[in-house]
């Protein structure tokens, strides 16, 4: 399950549960859709992710590469102990900026007030 919050030019994705193949596929589809629409800066708030499988690690790398290719970024925050261990083991701290909180990560992107729920605009 994914929560989505839009804050300025940044989309905050808040996944919940295990970061497995199902979550990876859902997240990729959502983020790739945003990228296709010109949104290229993302924050993944992993506070509610209790574990990450190899498919999840691969997905993070793919998401980063796709956003970076378009001039954007993917930042991470709120890593739980097990998730942090896996990402450190995979040396993803060398690729991603990792923050303790969503607030700190948003501030690094120049956003100083809290996120608001994202409501897609309907095109007519």
Domains annotated on the chain, with CATH: 2-108 (3.30.750.24)
Residues in the chain: 124
Mean pLDDT over all residues of the chain? 89
* Contact residues for 18 (Cβ-Cβ < 8 A; gap 6+): 49, 50, 51, 52, 53
Checking if the pLDDT of 120 tops 60, the result is no
Checking if the pLDDT of 29 tops 70, the result is yes
Task: Give the whole-angstrom CA distance, residue 70 versus residue 32.
Answer: 11
Checking if the pLDDT of 115 tops 90, the result is no
- Give me the sign of the Cα torsion angle 112, 88, 48, 23: positive
Give the pLDDT confidence of 78-90 residue by residue, as tens digits.
Answer: 999 999 999 999 9
Task: Tell me the average pLDDT across 40-69.
Answer: 94
What's the pLDDT band for 93 if we cut at 50, 70, 90?
A: confident
Task: Give the whole-angstrom CA distance, residue 13 versus residue 16.
Answer: 10
Task: Tell me the average pLDDT across 71-100.
Answer: 93
């Amino acid at each position: 399950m994914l929560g989505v919050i839009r804050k300025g030019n940044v989309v905050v994705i808040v996944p919940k549960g295990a970061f497995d193949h199902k979550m990876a596929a859902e997240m990729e589809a959502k983020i790739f859709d945003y990228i296709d629409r010109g949104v290229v800066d993302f924050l993944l708030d992993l506070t509610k992710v209790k574990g990450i499988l190899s498919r999840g690690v691969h997905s993070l790398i793919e998401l980063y590469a796709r956003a970076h290719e378009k001039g954007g970024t993917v930042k991470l925050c709120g890593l739980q102990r097990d998730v942090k261990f896996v990402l450190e083991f995979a040396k993803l701290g060398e690729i991603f900026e990792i923050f303790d909180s969503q607030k700190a990560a948003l501030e690094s992107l120049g956003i100083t007030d809290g996120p608001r729920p994202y409501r897609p605009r309907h095109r007519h």
